[in-house]
Structure 1
Amino acid sequence: MSTQHDPTIVALINGRTVGRGEVLAWENRRIDAAAKKLGIDAPAAGGTEARREAFLSTKLALGSSEIESRLSRDIHWAERVSKVGARVSSRRRRSITDLQVAEGSAAHFAEWFDTCSRDSDERAMLRACPDHFVIRTGTDGRQEVIETTGGSPMAARFYVDYSETSSLVTPPDPNFPHQIAGVARAADGTPVGGVRHQFRDLDKGFQARLTVEFPLPSAGMMITQHRWHLACEFSNWITAAAKA
C-alpha cells in the first residue's frame, strides 16, 4: 500500500485539534534543542523536512556509541529519577495523543512498525523525531531507546519489551483491534512505564490512540509536552509507512 503524497493527518493534543503544520513547527524547534543536547551545530535554517534529513545524517554519522557517551550523564540521572518515581507508586500518569489519518489502514501501519522494530531499522526509528538518539532492537527482542521524553531536561534510556504488558495500567480497548504495547524497564529491569498504542480503521483511513505511561511523580509539563512528541514521531512514521 503506497501513496505518492503525504497522508492528511490531524492530531488531538490537550483537547485541541492540531494540523500537520503545527506539529512540523514543533519538530523544527526540537531539532535545535536536540542538536544542542548533543553538543553539535543544528542544521541550517530551512524547511522541516530538509532539516530532519540533515539531522538524521548527523546522528548516524556520530553513531550510537558516541551519542551514548555524550548523553551518559543525562542517562545516569534520568534512570535514578525514574526508578525512584516508579518505587513511589505503581500508579502512572498517561500522555495520550489521538491521530486521525485520512487514508491507509490500521493493519498496514501496525505491520510496518512491527517490521521496522524487529529489523532494528535505525534510519526509520531515528528519523521520526529529533529527540530520538538511539533506538535499536537487541537479540533478546527488547528495544533499547535513548531519547528526550516530553519536556524533560534530560535524555533517558529505557528498554521496551513488546512481548510483555503485565505492568501496564492502560487496558486494551476492544474497539481498537491493532495494538503496539509493551512495558518499559530501566537497565536493571525495574518497570518505569510503558506504551499502549492502539489503532482502528475508520470509514476513510484510520485512527491512532497513542498512550505512554510515566511514573506517577512525573511533572505535568513532561506529560503535556510528550503529547507533541507522540504526534511528531507517529505522524512521521505513518507518512513513511504510506510511502513504503
Structure 2
Amino acid sequence: MNIYIDGKSITNDQLTQWKRKRVKKVFNILGYKSAEINDPDSMIDKLTNLKMESSYQEMYNKLESKLKLSKTVMRMGAFLSGSRRKFSQTEIHLDGITAEEAIKGIDTLMLNSSDKNNRVNLSACPDHYALRPLGENELEVIETTGNSPLPVQFFIVFNDETGLQTPRDDAYAYQSAGVARLKDGTVIGGVRHQMKDTKTGIKVKLSVEFPAMSPTILIKSHQMHLACEFSYWLQWIKGQKNNNGRASLD
C-alpha cells in the first residue's frame, strides 16, 4: 500500500506518529488513563474494546456537551462560508484487490449494522466514536475531524450529491459520495471517494468537503485521518478476500 498527501508519499512512521497522538487524545476525552504508548495499534485495540463496552447512548452521553458546542461552531461556520468549501484529499494505491471489491466492502461497512462491522469501524481510526447506519443510505458519524478540539456529530446521505464541489472523475468507475448534514439539516460538506482498477490493484482518491471557514490546519490533519481509516478498511477488506476467496459482504 502507498499513501499520498499533496503528492508526497506518507511513510508508515508518519502514520504511526499521527495515530500515537490521536490515541492519547481520545483516551483523555473519554476519561480513561492511557499507558505509555509504544505500539499505537495495540492501544487502538484497547480503545476499541472500551468503546465496544459502551452502548451508543452511553457513548453519546459521555460526549454530549462537546457535541452541542461543536454543533454550534459547525452551524456558524457553514453559515459564514455559504457555498464555499475547503477540501481534504488523500490518495491510496493498493495491490491485490479490485475496485468493485473495495467499494462493496466499504458500502457494507458503512451501511450494514453488525457487531463485526462496528468493531472494524471503531478500529479504523482512534477518532471514531460511532458510525451507525440509519436506513438504506444514511450513516450517522460521531468523530473528531482533523485535529479539532471537539468531536462532531453529522449524518451522511449517500447517493445524494447535492452541492458537492469535488468533481466526478469518469476515469474512476466506482465512488462513494454523499452530503453531510447536522441533525437540524444544516449542510456542512460532503464526501466523494473514487476508486478505479490498476494493473495490480486499485487507486483511490478520497475527498472530504468542509465549510470554507474551517481552519486549514484542521483540513491538513484530516488528510491523515483519511489515510488512517481507509488504509485500515481497505487492508481489512483485502484480508477478508484472502481468507474467504472473496471480499466479505456480511
Match of 1:103 in 2: 96
1:70 correspondence with 2:62: yes
CA distance change for structure 1 residues 193 and 243 in 2, over 3 Å: closer, same or farther? same
CA distance change for structure 1 residues 140 and 112 in 2, over 3 Å: closer, same or farther? closer
1:231 correspondence with 2:227: yes
Match of 1:31 in 2: 23
* More divergent stretch after superposition (221-230 vs 168-177): 168-177
Match of 2:4 in 1: 12
Structure 2 stretches lacking a partner, 5+ long: 241-250
Match of 1:84 in 2: 76
SS at match of 1:39: coil
State the distance in 2 between where 1:97 and 1:137 align.
24
Match of 1:94 in 2: 87
Match of 1:122 in 2: 118
SS at match of 2:170: coil
| Per-residue deviation, 1:235 | 0.3
State the distance in 2 between where 1:15 and 1:206 align.
17
Amino acid at match of 1:14: D
Amino acid at match of 1:196: R
Amino acid at match of 2:74: S
The TM-score normalised by the length of structure 2 is 0.90
CA contact (8 A) 2:111 2:138 kept: no
The TM-score normalised by the length of structure 1 is 0.92
CA contact (8 A) 1:42 1:55 kept: no
| Per-residue deviation, 1:10 | 1.4
| Per-residue deviation, 1:102 | 2.6
State the distance in 2 between where 1:153 and 1:48 align.
20
Match of 2:167 in 1: 171
| Per-residue deviation, 1:42 | 2.4
State the distance in 1 between where 2:173 and 2:136 align.
26
CA contact (8 A) 1:14 1:224 kept: no
CA contact (8 A) 1:44 1:51 kept: no
Of structures 1 and 2, the one with the larger relative CO (CA 8 A, separation 6+) is 1
* More divergent stretch after superposition (179-188 vs 112-121): 112-121
CA contact (8 A) 2:140 2:154 kept: yes
CA contact (8 A) 2:88 2:222 kept: yes
State the distance in 2 between where 1:232 and 1:224 align.
13
Match of 1:181 in 2: 177
Amino acid at match of 1:26: W
Using the aligned pairs only, state the percent identity: 32
| Per-residue deviation, 1:81 | 1.4
Indicate the RMSD between aligned Cα atoms, in angstroms: 1.4
Amino acid at match of 1:226: H
Match of 1:144 in 2: 140
